[in-house]
Each structure stands twice: as C-alpha cells, then as structure tokens.
Structure 1
Amino acid sequence: MQEFSHIKDDRAYMVDISNKDTVVRYATASGKIKLHDETVEKIRSGDVEKGNVLATARTAAILAVKRTPDLIPMCHQIPITSVDVEFEIGKSDVTANVEVKSVGRTGVEMEALTGVSVALLTIWDMVKSAEKDNTGNYPSTAIENIHVIRKVKETITNQ
C-alpha cells in the first residue's frame, strides 16, 4: 500500500517541495449544480434578485483559488499566474470549469477544485430563495461531480 505523503508516524505535516524543479503547472477542475429549470432560466436571463449570478460566482472562484492554502492546511502558498473560470448553462444545471496556472514546485489541482467548489456554493447562495420548497429545504438542489479534468506539468524552456 502506498503511504500518504502528508502523514508520518500518525502526524500530519507539510511536504518539503524545496528540491522539486520549478515548472509550468496547469490544472482544470469541473463540477455541476442541479437547479430547478425556472432558476436556471432566471440565471440565463439575468433576472435573479441578488444580481449577476455568474459574474459573482466567477469572482468568488478566483478569490477562492488565491485563498486555498488558508482553507486546506497542507497546501503550499504558490504563485498563481492565471485563473480562468467558465460556465456552461444547461436546462436544469450549471457547470463550472476552473483552470489554474502557476510556475512553481507543486501542482494546482487543489486550487482548481477549491475554485469550482466556491463558484458552485456562490451560485447556490444567490438563488437559494428560488430553490427552497415550502418547508425551507432544498430537496432537488445538489452540487455534484466535482473532479479534476486534467493536470499538466511542463518543463520551462529558455528562449
């Protein structure tokens, strides 16, 4: 069985990455929020009382990417060089895709996953009044399938 890199002698610790090469790193993550058809139409038409849902979710995703080490204890502070957030609006769902790029010594998949998670949570927060049932619950609203689509490591070439 493979050992976990962040656990040694039953203690959690941050992995030393100082000996790793500095390379270009990309990661893309995706996830989906299932909503009522009517809610999705309000997002599409810009008719949500709290404001522009996707613009707010995009900003939240970017902020979340930059704050990942504050949320996940063993993540390193890394130089984020770009964040791209895209949304796909379906009939009864919205998919968030977040690509993160860095030049550094460790990957950016946790940052991409955090960006997707916070984007979807922000969408939920902005439309929750339209999603509640008569008891104040959310029986059909769901965030699902948050995953890494790709992770790339490229050697830096001098020009």
Structure 2
Amino acid sequence: MDDLTHIDSSGDVHMVDVGSKPTSHREAVAEATVYMSLDTLRKIRQGNLPKGSVISAAKLAGIMAAKRTWELIPLCHNISLSSVDLDLQFIEDPPSIRVVSTVRTEAQTGVEMEALTAASVAALTIYDMSKAVERGMVIGDIRLLKKTGGVHGDYKAETE
C-alpha cells in the first residue's frame, strides 16, 4: 500500500497533504471518444439536432466539470484552474467525435483528474444532446494523454 497516496498505513483513506509541496506549473491532457453512426456525426457537424449546438454545449459542460472536479471525485483538492480548453475532432472512420481536454494551473497538485473529468463530461453531453437521433452511441477510450509538472515528473501515453 506504500504506493497508494490516498491510503494511510492502517488502510484508511485520507486526503493527501500537499501543503509542503512547491507551487509549479501543471498541465494535463486527456481524451474521450464518442462512437456513433456516420449519419449522426454529420447531423452534429451540420448543427441539425433538436437540442441545438452539440459542440458548444459539450465544450461548456467540460469546462464546468473541470472546475467542479473536487466536488465529484472523493479526496480531490479544490484547486484554481488557469485554463480549460476542449478540442472536439470529427472523425469519419470510425464515425466518432474525439474530445481532447487540456487543463492548466499553478498549484501544489496536478490537474489530471480535472482533464479526465472535462473530457468525460463533454462526451456525456454529446451523448445527451444527440440521443434523440441515436441511442446506440458508445463512449470510450477515456485516458490521460500527458501531464507535466510536479514531483513525479512528466508523463506521456505511449500512443496517442
């Protein structure tokens, strides 16, 4: 259990004390993908869905989710975010929308969970906004692509 930072020596959960860690620039990039039919993808791209702009709603939802990650994930610190960016990419083969979130801060702890939460909630919003035309969409491939800063150093996923 020595490697699990949120578990103490007796096996109980606890919030990590980051008070003595230096403040540094932190950045995390995460992704999620929403798989759908080509027809649904084209309708989203053209803005032809009953609920309005899927892309605008998904970006806003991702930003809002990143800012509230500490309320959703137990033991997450409430940290001030410098920026949250979401890039939604239309992919024809297989038909899907790839959501890439980038979160930055100057803090004593990283923003990996904020980036993962932003990508996940943006993907869920795409589903919610589009379910009237297709309920069989699949959300997957949620993962951390990279992170910089902090005591543990940088991380980059082997394949992007």
> TM-score, normalised to structure 1's length?
0.89
SS at match of 2:17: coil
**Which aligned runs of 4 or more in structure 1 are off by greater than 2 angstroms?**
none
Amino acid at match of 1:95: R
Equivalence for 2:107: 104
Q: Name 1:7's counterpart in structure 2.
A: 7
Count the aligned residue pairs: 148
Identity of aligned residues (%): 39
Question: Does residue 90 of structure 1 match 2:86?
Answer: no
- Report the CA distance between 1:7 and its aligned residue: 1.0
TM-score (norm 2): 0.89
CA distance in 2, matches of 1:50, 1:97: 23
Query: Structure 2 matches for 1:24-63, cutoff 5 A?
Result: 24-63=25-64
Distance 1:93 1:16 in 2: 40
Q: Distance in 2 between matches of 1:2 and 1:127?
A: 44
The reply on whether 1:149 has 2:145 as its aligned counterpart is yes
Larger Rg: 1
Shift, 1:2, TM fit:
4.6
RMSD: 1.4
One-letter amino acid of the structure 1 residue matched with residue 142 of structure 2: I
Q: Name the SS for the 2:132 alignment partner.
A: helix
1:53-112 per-residue CA deviation (whole Å, 9 max, x = no partner) reads: 000000000000000000001100111010111010012100000000000000000000
Q: Which amino acid aligns with 1:110?
A: M
1:58-73 equivalences under 5 Å are 58-73=59-74
Query: Structure 2 regions of 5+ residues with no counterpart?
Result: 151-160
Q: Out of 6-15 and 80-89, give the one that drifted further.
A: 6-15
